[in-house]
Amino acid sequence: MREMTDLAGVRQTAKALLMLDLVLTPYSPMVVQHPFTNSGITYGQKDGKMQILNLVENPDDLDAWRGSIKKAIEEADSPYHLYMMVNPPYALTFLKYTKPYLGRDDFSKILAGAWIMSEYANSDEAVSKVELVEMFRASDPAILMDTDEREQLAGLDDPVTVYRGVTSYNAENIKALSWTLSYDTARWFADRFVESGTVYKSQMEKAHVLALFNGRDESEIILDPKYLPEIEPALENREAEAMEPKNEIEIQMGG
């Protein structure tokens, strides 16, 4: 990875992403997907005045909007500023294509933000798990994580006990990068969307743990799923206690 960021290269890549077509949804024109917007109805400048623009149904409005975003891209004074302009679902896509132009410091800072901002980073169709692992391995841990996160990671046992909660939506995506140190957090993810999902448990060697994030109070562990050993459903505390052999006193007392 390069030492210094080529801001011109990052800007050029951002402009290329700007020219991608809007992806329509059942709620269009109000809701669309695009690297720089999630709505087809926006407020912007056209013909010298601010007005409501319909990016889906009016090509002139789309051209005017693209012109204003292009101007903002050209005026951005840092790659992080450009990254903050990106629609969150495209954050990792932006990082993937700007990576050749980013210095390691800027790359690491954006990766930390993009990962936390991406709701479904583990199932991003534009960025594979292999590419995500490579991103984390290329980053600088001193920038990727804050001091407390680095110290907590250094203090973990080896191997590390990790949990992952899945619903019907991501039940086939167990071997993912994102796990947690907390059974309760994994249980929350398994039960969200009014579902009763499954919590899985595994033991991971610290050599294959890539990062630890506490930014969302999730005790999130990022790991290389290629090295995950046996994965099994995690028993809740009360289930585990019920399976423990009773001692002689408990048996005599009918416990």
Where are the chain's structural domains?
7-142, 145-239
Scanning 7-165, the segments in alpha helix (DSSP H) are 7-18, 59-75, 79-84, 91-98, 104-117, 129-138, 141-144, 147-154
Q: How many CA atoms lie within 13 A of 179 on its CB side?
A: 28
pLDDT (mean) for 127-134: 96
CA distance 254 to 239: 19
pLDDT band at 249 (very low <50, low <70, confident <90, very high): very low
Each residue's pLDDT tens digit, 45-74: 999 999 999 999 999 999 999 999 999 999
Q: pLDDT value at position 254?
A: 45
162, 156 contact by CB (below 8 A): no
**pLDDT of 109:** 97
Question: Please, which residues have CB within 8 angstroms of residue 94's CB and are 6 or more apart in sequence?
Answer: 13, 14, 17, 35, 82, 83, 86, 114
Query: Which 8-state DSSP code applies to residue 22?
Result: P
DSSP string covering 153-188: HHTS-SSEEEEEEE-SSSTT--S-SEEES-HHHHHH
Task: Determine the Cα–Cα distance for residues 103 and 7; give it in Å rounded to an integer.
Answer: 10
Decide: helix, strand or coil at residue 244. coil
Q: Judge whether residue 89 has pLDDT over 80.
A: yes
Topology of domain 145-239, per CATH? Answer: ADP-ribosylation fold (3.20.170)
Q: What is the pLDDT of residue 125?
A: 85
